[in-house]
Structure 1
Amino acid sequence: MNRDRIPCSRLLTITLLLLLQSAAVCADGLRAAVSRNEITLGETFQLSIFSDTEQAGDPDFSMLERDFQIVNRSQAKNMQIINGKVNRMQRWNLMMQPKRIGQLTIPSISVGGESTDPITLTVNEAAPAKEAVAGDDIFLKVEVDREQAYPGQQVILSVRLYRGVSTENASLSPPQSNDPDILIHKLGEDQQYQSQISQRRYTVVERRYALFPSHSGRLELSPLKFEGEIMQSRRRNNRLLTLPFDSFQQPGKITRLQSRALTLEILPRPQRAAGQPWLPSSNLQLTETWSKPPTEWKVGEPITRTLMLFADGLTSAQLPEFEQMLPAELKQYPDQPQLQDRADRDGITGVRESKIAIIPNRPGRYTLPAISIPWWNIDKGRMERAEIAPRTIDVQPAAATTTPGRDPAVDARAVASAPASRIPAAVPGEAVASWLVWLLAAGWLLTSLAWGYSAWRRQQPSRRSGTAPRQAASPTLSEIGAACSRNDPLATQRALLAWAQRRWPDSPPRSLAHLARLLDDEAVASAIADLEQTLYAADTPIWEGGALWQRLQKRSQRESQPAAPQIDTLAPLHPG
């Protein structure tokens, strides 16, 4: 019996609803309806326009824009067959938001010769955002990692949004304070996870900021404000009970809430830190690396020194420059410092990297002074120093450069040009050996003069024929440009030494360091030092050849004058 009664009850309900639908469908004319007649400023509502016939055009909604903002619009058509009769319906949906408070009227809207009746709405003033607390559908939590800090010290602000309902069009305001010069950095991407509070499960979105206050005193962080639309869900147990156009989603309720305000105490700088760079950090490190061990320095050979400063809780813009007072015999050519901010959820680490090319110009023993960076340890509450200790280095004379097959002549030339003070005096018992040395030196000197005269005679025909050294060297100059454009350090080294072999055929340089001394150009020497560092580095770093090629071009442009035709002109890096 019960099984028969339930279907009859459902059939009666469905029949009644169909009759109501038929009455609605059979009603003639153009009708308008709103989802709510009383709303709050800032909330949205839905305006629906119904037509019992299929219209050729669309209504003119421009008159609505005076008092309302049209957020979204849609259109749908429906066809029903009842008792063999076909009924066509058309509907326009507008999601709107009022522009002001008070009694607002939706004017009559016309389409196809028909008009709707005006509709009056009451728009109330929006209530101030309430402070959300745990247990609400949506609430905010804010906290800082410390309530006292110094100017320039990092403070981590954590913002957590708890949502127990679905939302759309949500927004969260950024942090604001009474410090006009405060620096605010967002840390990474938002984190989303689940949390259960009082038997209720929430979706949590966590956002973190790094704050750097600039002034001592009372720092007030304003409440963060959230605004979003809570979606109104509908339960539909039976599709047969769905009324026409019921699939249109109803507008949600606008929710506004705010977090609690926060107050921090920003302390003045300690007296112990007066007169020194102010670097409040939990950890600060200074490191040093060399392209070549200090025990292998030689005159004219460039060495690259790399200094790096790491500071937790500071930005790279806060880090000072390195002060290096080197002896005058050690020329230094600093590059532009590289600044980097490494951010994660725990804060910012500032990094400053400085590279300096050092070229000794005299042999001897030198002392590189210490480098000291004072900083304030925020965990221990005291001044500390990051230091690189002084370093003593021995610079060796430049290695002698010889040409294969000419060792005797070169040795004789070196002996002949040496000052008397550097030639050891004869001692009793060594007279015969001394005479032999002088005799051999004289022979070597004569051999050198003869070889030089022969080489001069061989070069005369080419000079008389007007062939300049530049023409012989030009193919290898283009090879230098091609190697630099490919960022190939090995090919660039070979091309440079090949070009130098033709440029200085009598005494070609056998190393890049020797070539740098012959060129006598500080900018080129610094670029060659970077090339050497790349060639001998253990980790094979990426080398950019454009800087070296540009400096070689600038050098050739300065020296390529009509009065000095022997200077080579370098080809463009990208010919054509």
Structure 2
Amino acid sequence: MQNSIDMEYRTNVNNMNKFTNQWLIFCLILSCFLFTGISRAATELSASVDRNPVMENESFVLQLVVNDSVDSDELDLSPLQQSGLLIGRSNTSSQTQIINGSISKSTTWNVVMLARNAGEYRIPALEINGVKSQPITVQVVKSNAQAGEQSQPIFLKNSIENDALYLQQTTKLVTRLYFAPNVDLQSGTLTDPSLDSAFIKQQGKDTETSEIIMGTRYRVIERIYAVTPQSSGEFTITSPTFNGEISTDRRRSVFSNFGSRKPVSSIGNDITITVAPIPDDYSGSWLPSDLVQLHEEWQPNKDSYEVGEPITRTFTLTALNVNEEQLPEIKGQYPSDFNMYPDQSESHSAVRQNAVVSQRVSSEAIVANKAGTYTLPEVTLNWFNTQTNRKETATIPAKTITIVASSSKNDNTLVSNIPLQSQSLENGGQQCPAPEVAQNEQEALSCPETVSLSINSWLLTLSGWIAWLITTLLLVLKLKAHRNRPQQSNTQVNVTEPQFDKSALKKGCSENNVSVVRSQLVLWAKEHISDEVDNLQSLLGKIDKTTELATEIRRLNQSQYGRQKTDWNGDLLWKAYENYARDTKVSTNKLNDDLPPLN
């Protein structure tokens, strides 16, 4: 019996070992087959385009397929930059198929390409793991603009309000992105337009509308830019570019990651503008605009003010089609009997009724130190009317104000009643009558402050004088602190006043960086010459025009704003600045040496 069991056990073990060996042999053969198949498939790289020929400004898709599962970064797409075509967004997808027991894998790259001009373009061969694709020649033909747009699921249009400008005049550029009705956008980005020597800033947020073109309703996203050229001449604004992905109608495979998405790119029309220089007969600060308005407000607004009473004067400068950074700060002129404390100005811009409206609000606190009648001079601002091509002046008329002696210094009764009025606010707004106007004893007893004043009037009078002295002292200290520290804006944003940096000026001159040199020279002039200097033109009005520095500043302006551009050498300006600063310092020291000593 035992022998029978042992024999059966040995038979089962042998059968199991035989089955295991057969399974291992099968797996080994299958692995070799799969390895051989994959290795053979990995040697193929194909390239094709979805259409050829194509129209100019019409995007097409270059498709690259390798018969293997590889990482997306294994294929180097950089040689495409040599084709002369614009390269848009690309995506990668992987796919695995099993057909009749045969397994195949592939990796696909879709690259969006676009030609701006008609002609013949050659897409070079690409390489992966030593395997190259075939080069492709693409024919790009001219097309009717509207017909080309109709063939695209997404297209761009650019328009400009004014293509003939003056230097530093702002115009509005509108970019519209059109989506066909059957387009399902998955993702996308829109770049900004570009123009050398110009400030370009988006205005507001994107808006969405619709437009019917040849019977088809398109969804439209509109974006507005403010363009302010900083050099004269003829320039081309390069269109923004849209890159994105849209859904396709192709059925998605369970093995495909990106089968339902298609990359798309679109670029709009470039725009050429002509920028005129500053007219030769124009003098003063340059402010080109369609319309300039200057307005003031007084707070409090009344016929007369007391000595020591703070008055807030606010100037509002509004201009059309001007960059907000170009608006100068407005300041009033005051007699020597006034103290003036400027506040931090605020500026902003927005698009209103197809125009860029910029505004700067400047405030200053003024305090009169002496009674009398004063006439404050008019406030003027010169500007250039781009509609009439004439110089004009915005004006705030002269204003006469009356300053009277402070009643708080001459009326002891009023001073002594100040604590009483403060106490009445703490008692629900109930006014406490003074002892001399109380009608009866009951009325006087109803207010504790009146009783206290009746008993200790001399003490309250003394405390009133002390309170007045403390208030005056605090006001003086606050005004001094206000004068000695930079002002903060009402928006509670910490603003640091820029300071002159000599090393930055030297570096800007060595690199011929006009923007840095201009700003640093203005900061230097504000610190060492006059705080009224806002630009290089006003700086020239403050220094001797025969100096080497004045000559180099005029050369800098000529290189940027003249009718004919000239080369500018920043090193010469740096030497002129050093000589001017040294000579000015020597002259000042010599003047101090010549002064008689104080006895």
Range of TM-score over shorter length: 0.5 to 0.7
Counterpart position of 2:479: 522
Deviation string, structure 1 residues 162-188 (Cα, Å, up to 9, x no partner): 4447477766554344xx422212223
The CA deviation string for residues 130-164 of structure 1, in whole angstroms up to 9 with x for no partner, is: 67711222354333222322112122222334444
Q: Give 1:264-283 correspondences, 5 Å limit.
A: 264-270=273-279, 274-283=282-291
Q: 2:171 aligns with which of 149, 155, 173?
A: 155
CA distance in 1, matches of 2:107, 2:414: 97
Deviation at 1:197, TM superposition (A): 2.3
The offset of 1:33, in angstroms, is 9.8
Instruction: Say if 2:229 is the partner of 1:221.
Output: no
1:95–1:378 distance in 2 versus 1, CA, 3 Å? same
Does residue 1:397 correspond to 2:405, yes or no? yes
Q: 2:594 maps to what in 1?
A: none
CA contact (8 A) 1:76 1:91 kept: yes
Give 1:327 deviation, angstroms.
Answer: 0.8
Is the CA contact 2:48–2:136 (under 8 Å) kept in the aligned structure 1? Answer: yes
Mapped pair 1:95 → 2:105:
no
The separation in 1 between residues aligned to 2:400 and 2:112, in whole angstroms, is 78
SS at match of 2:176: strand
Cα–Cα, structure 1 residues 127 and 250, in superposed 2: closer, same or farther, change >3 Å? farther
Q: Aligned partners of 1:92 and 1:514: how far apart in 2?
A: 85
Paired residue type of 1:95: W
Aligned mate of 1:145, from 157, 161, 173? 161
Deviation at 1:365, TM superposition (A): 1.0
Alpha-carbon offset, residue 395 of structure 1: 0.9
Separation (CA, whole Å) in 2 of partners of 1:405 and 1:102 = 93
CA shift for structure 1 position 194: 2.9
1:186 maps to what in 2? Answer: 202
Deviations 1:294-316 (A, max 9, x none): 42411122222111211121122
Distance in 2 of aligned mates of 1:73 and 1:304: 64
Give % identity: 23
Distance in 2 (CA, whole Å) between partners of 1:359 and 1:168 is 62
The match for 1:210 is 226
Q: Do residues 121 (structure 1) and 120 (structure 2) align?
A: no
Mapped pair 1:47 → 2:65:
yes
Alignment of 1:224-263 (within 5 A): 224=239, 226=241, 228=243, 233-234=248-249, 249=259, 252=262, 258-259=268-269, 261-263=270-272
1:134 partner SS = helix
Matched, 1:340 2:328: no
- Shift of the 299–93 alpha-carbon distance from structure 1 to 2, 3 Å rule, reads same
Q: Are 2:466 and 1:508 equivalent residues in the alignment? A: yes
* Conservation of the 8 A alpha-carbon contact between 2:306 and 2:371: yes
Residue in structure 2 matching 1:293, options 259, 283, 301? 301
Cα contact 1:301–1:514 (8 A) shared by 2: no
The equivalent of 1:305 in structure 2 is 313
Question: 1:336, CA displacement in angstroms?
Answer: 2.5
Distance 1:186 1:131 in 2: 31
1:98, 1:195 → 2: CA distance? 26
CA distance in 2, matches of 1:337, 1:216: 30
Taking a change above 3 Å as real, the CA distance of residues 360 and 94 of structure 1, as seen in their structure-2 partners, is same
Asked if the contact 1:334–1:356 (Cα under 8 Å) also holds between the matched residues in 2, the reply is yes
Given residue 135 of structure 2, which amino acid in structure 1 is its aligned partner? V
- 8 A contact 1:195–1:204 mirrored in 2: yes
Q: Is the 8 A contact 1:95 1:251 kept in 2?
A: no
SS in 1 for 2:133: strand
Stretches of structure 2 that go unaligned for 5 or more consecutive residues are 1-33, 53-58, 81-88, 114-121, 417-455, 496-599
CA contact under 8 A between 1:188 and 1:344: conserved in structure 2?
no
Query: For 1:266 and 1:395, how far apart are their aligned partners in 2?
Result: 51
Q: CA deviation at 1:324?
A: 2.3
SS of the equivalent of 2:146 reads coil
Contact 1:311 1:350 in 2 (8 A): yes
Q: CA deviation at 1:27?
A: 13
- Alignment partner of 2:358 out of 326, 350, 353: 350
With over 3 angstroms needed to count, the CA separation of the structure-2 counterparts of 1:352 and 1:33, relative to structure 1, is same
Structure 1 residues 384, 92: closer, same or farther in 2, change over 3 A? same
Distance 1:306 1:28, change over 3 A: same
Deviation per residue, 1:216-237 (Å, 9 max, x gap)? 33x232452646578684467x
Write the distance in 2 (CA, Å) between the matches of 1:320 and 1:59. Answer: 61
What is the CA–CA distance in structure 1 between the aligned matches of 2:218 and 2:208, rounded to whole Å?
11
With normalisation by structure 2, the TM-score equals 0.52
CA contact (8 A) 2:156 2:268 kept: yes
CA distance in 1, matches of 2:204, 2:354: 10
For the aligned residue pairs, the C-alpha RMSD in angstroms reads 5.1
Q: How many residues align?
A: 386
Aligned equivalents of 1:284 and 1:268: distance in 2? 20
Mark the structure with the bigger radius of gyration: 1
Using a 3 Å threshold, how does the CA distance of structure 1 residues 36 and 193 change in structure 2: closer, same or farther?
A: farther
Letter of the structure 1 residue corresponding to residue 47 of structure 2: N
Residue 327 of structure 2 corresponds to: 319
In structure 2, relative to structure 1, the CA distance for the partners of 1:145 and 1:187 (3 Å cut) is: same
Among 155, 167, 175, which residue is 2:193 paired with?
175
Deviations 1:285-339 (A, max 9, x none): 2221222234241112222211121112112221123242211111111122223
Give the alignment partner of residue 365 of structure 1, picking from 370, 373, 379.
373
Separation of aligned partners in 2, 1:202 and 1:405: 74
- Distance in 1, matches of 2:126 and 2:79, equals 9
**How much does 1:370 deviate?**
1.0
The 2-side partners of 1:144 and 1:395 are apart by 53
Question: Any unmatched runs of 5+ in structure 1?
Answer: 1-25, 51-57, 109-117, 237-241, 408-450, 456-500, 531-540, 548-576
* One-letter code aligned to 1:124: I
